[in-house]
Copies of this chain bind each other. A is one copy, B any other.
């Protein structure tokens, strides 16, 4: 993994935003992109880490990445380093990757397998629950129990792993989990394996990465993805440009088919869209794919012949989920792909993409890994270019916030959610986007 953690060289800011930040939050104009400092200022970046990434449930991995007891990942969330560990009870635990002796990072690889957690510096040894088992050369009155590794909240839902750095995680996550589980469970992530994983660093603020994900207005820039996604994404029927009418008719037919197929396979498909509300904003829906309608590929046909779970029907479209603040997902009949956005600095963001296939799928027989990755590998690179150009343009003092089009309503949803969360976290009044 090529991501590097943000180095914090600033004195810690107080939780409350400075006067200028408070003013920026206060004066945000609905329907318009944010003012430049939200994307370029390190002060806002610190605020985003403290208020967004340290107070919400953050999608960081899939359970399939740590299948066996002792398997671990290290994940950087801004300046935090978090250990995700499958413990001896096969549960996923999450610990801060900071030795309680003199602060050394304990695990220094992105992934691996361990027994106890042993700091390489002075060999302080912790169990997988963080208890300090052994520290050499201490005085008789040394109280080991006072120096456990700090833990953090961790939740798994249908094979997806979320952490929360706050001691009081958002309470709406239970409701969220309950609602999405029936959609995702049939894809049986518990019986998948990692076919591929890629980390890229985008030269832009994490919110630009998210905003870019939340609309298909730019999808002409994605020749590979355009074979699979209908270009009508985000439009209401009344607002369709005439040129998209044929595609829309094709979409309507595919969508009707998909509903029948979903019902025949007892798969939920209805859209739930609560992107602005509460702490855990999300959207989930089963939607048709263009072409053959089976998977992300030039002709819409499967990219893995071994289907997930108990599926025998390949034409299940894409079960897509958008999640605030940092993730999106596509679950198909033949594979799943997850995206996790992690902030590095005001102008640097890590994007991790993970492709999962059935645990019994065999590379070379059931799937070709290059073909499996092709659409999103290229789409990610194209999006990286868009994000970098946005970051550069916004860095000019000539930049002014501009209007979101109707088919960018999910960008507006994301921005409203973000501003609402800053206001909620910092005690500022008012909710953004209530007038819509």
A interface residues with partner B (beta carbon < 8 Å): 5-12, 20-21, 33, 36-37, 40-43, 54, 79-81, 96-106, 108, 120-123, 135-139, 142, 147, 150, 211, 217-218, 220-221, 235, 239, 241, 346-347, 386, 389-390, 392-407
**Distance, CA A395 to CA B10, complexed state (A):** 10
Q: Is the CB of B5 within 8 A of A103?
A: no
**Distance, CA A147 to CA B32, complexed state (A):** 12
Q: Is the CB of A402 within 8 A of B9?
A: no
Which of chain B's residues have a CB closer than 8 A to the CB of A100? Answer: 400, 402
**Distance, CA A394 to CA B79, complexed state (A):** 10
Minimum C-beta distance from A93 to chain B (A):
15
Which of chain B's residues have a CB closer than 8 A to the CB of A211? Answer: 102
Q: Is the CB of B393 within 8 A of A98?
A: yes
Residue with the greatest number of chain B CB neighbours at <10 A, chosen from A9, A80, A218, A239: A9
Which of B41, B104, B218, B403 sits near A390, CB closer than 8 Å?
Answer: B104
Closest B residue to A140 by beta carbon equals B239
Secondary structure at the A interface, as helix, strand, loop or mixed, is loop
5 contacts between A and B (CB under 8 A): A9-B40, A121-B218, A138-B405, A138-B406, A147-B402
Residue with the greatest number of chain B CB neighbours at <10 A, chosen from A33, A108, A399: A399
Which of B80, B218, B239 sits near A396, CB closer than 8 Å?
Answer: B80
Known: A37-B11, A120-B389, A392-B5. A407 touches B103 (CB 8 A): no
Known: A43-B11, A217-B122. A389 touches B79 (CB 8 A): no
Which of chain B's residues have a CB closer than 8 A to the CB of A406? Answer: 137-139
Which of chain B's residues have a CB closer than 8 A to the CB of A99? Answer: 393, 402
Q: Is the CB of A346 within 8 A of B395?
A: no
Known: A40-B8, A102-B33, A239-B139. A108 touches B398 (CB 8 A): no
Q: Is the CB of A123 within 8 A of B220?
A: yes
Which of chain B's residues have a CB closer than 8 A to the CB of A404? Answer: 102
Known: A104-B386, A121-B221, A217-B136. A396 touches B40 (CB 8 A): no
Which of chain B's residues have a CB closer than 8 A to the CB of A147? Answer: 402-403
Q: Is the CB of A393 within 8 A of B105?
A: yes
**Distance, CA A346 to CA B150, complexed state (A):** 25
Minimum C-beta distance from A243 to chain B (A):
9
**Distance, CA A31 to CA B259, complexed state (A):** 67
**Distance, CA A217 to CA B211, complexed state (A):** 50
Q: Is the CB of A137 within 8 A of B105?
A: no
Which of chain B's residues have a CB closer than 8 A to the CB of A10? Answer: 41-42
Residue with the greatest number of chain B CB neighbours at <10 A, chosen from A99, A393, A397: A393
Q: Is the CB of A137 within 8 A of B393?
A: no
Q: Is the CB of B102 within 8 A of A241?
A: no
**Distance, CA A347 to CA B6, complexed state (A):** 12
Minimum C-beta distance from A294 to chain B (A):
29
Q: Is the CB of B136 within 8 A of A394?
A: no
Which of chain B's residues have a CB closer than 8 A to the CB of A101? Answer: 33, 402-403
Closest B residue to A35 by beta carbon equals B12
Closest B residue to A45 by beta carbon equals B9
Minimum C-beta distance from A314 to chain B (A):
32
Which of B33, B81, B241 sits near A392, CB closer than 8 Å?
Answer: B81
Q: Is the CB of B103 within 8 A of A394?
A: yes
Which of chain B's residues have a CB closer than 8 A to the CB of A122? Answer: 217-218, 405
Q: Is the CB of B9 within 8 A of A41?
A: yes
Q: Is the CB of A41 within 8 A of B108?
A: no
Minimum C-beta distance from A289 to chain B (A):
22
Which of chain B's residues have a CB closer than 8 A to the CB of A97? Answer: 393, 396
**Distance, CA A101 to CA B6, complexed state (A):** 30
**Distance, CA A396 to CA B33, complexed state (A):** 31
Minimum C-beta distance from A69 to chain B (A):
24
Which of chain B's residues have a CB closer than 8 A to the CB of A137? Answer: 217, 235, 239, 241, 405-407
Minimum C-beta distance from A157 to chain B (A):
24
Q: Is the CB of B9 within 8 A of A347?
A: yes
**Given A103-B402, A135-B405, list of 20 further CB < 8 A pairs?**
A6-B395, A7-B40, A9-B347, A12-B36, A33-B103, A79-B395, A79-B396, A79-B397, A96-B396, A98-B396, A102-B211, A102-B390, A104-B389, A104-B393, A105-B390, A122-B217, A122-B405, A137-B235, A137-B407, A139-B239
